[in-house]
Structure 1
Amino acid sequence: MKTRVFLLVGLLVALGLAGVVSNFASAHPDGLDSVVRDGCTYDAADNKTGGTCVADRAADTQTADSPFADYGIRGIDNPYLSTGLSGVIGVLVTAGIGGGLFWLVRRRKPADSPV
């Protein structure tokens, strides 16, 4: 029983973080993006204004047109709702896959053993 409560509380915390706190993530480039942009200059709207850098060779991934690209859900105009829902869906899918894998590989007691 304690394990189920622990897992449920953990899932609820993860859903809360994904659905609410994810909207407060910084939109500024992280460490890797900063290194890749080294040598280029950008304006306030994040448009390249000059220079040469590794980011010049960047291209969209094959999943750029997917419904969940760019940390949001295509078709939902509210960015907070879009980001929050995509986070919640991501947590639920990950928990479902992880739970399903654990269920498949769990140890089972032999049928003839006493409980």
Structure 2
Amino acid sequence: MDDDTGADAALLRRLANGDRAALADAFDRFAPTLVRSAWAVAASRQDVEEIVQDTFLTLWQQAATIDPATSALLPWLLVVCRDRARDQARRTERSADGRTQRGDRSRARRTKAVTHDEH
């Protein structure tokens, strides 16, 4: 077992036991890489922060299910981060689409009202 694998296993054990300091340690160790990864997809700093936060929340919630013998922690986190970034991009896109559609309907109502008033 190499140093990273051993460190991952110890960190995962601590996380699985509810050790909040382990979450802080994981954040210190992996956040810079996850932030860079999130920026590849995210549109804003706020999105990046949310993606990284969600990634660590998922780690906290699922630490007991991660087997360090079969899953290195950084690749696992990067997959979760990528998935959260894609989810965020879809939410942002849907939100923008919703605003556009609402704006179109609102303009249509105003146009209809103006047209109706002119007749």
TM-score of Structure 1 vs Structure 2, range by shorter chain:
0.3 to 0.5
Query: What TM-score, normalized by structure 2, do the two folds share?
Result: 0.32
Tell me: higher relative CO, structure 1 or 2? Use CA pairs within 8 A at least 6 residues apart: 2
Query: What TM-score, normalized by structure 1, do the two folds share?
Result: 0.33
Per residue, is there more helix in 1 or in 2?
Answer: 2
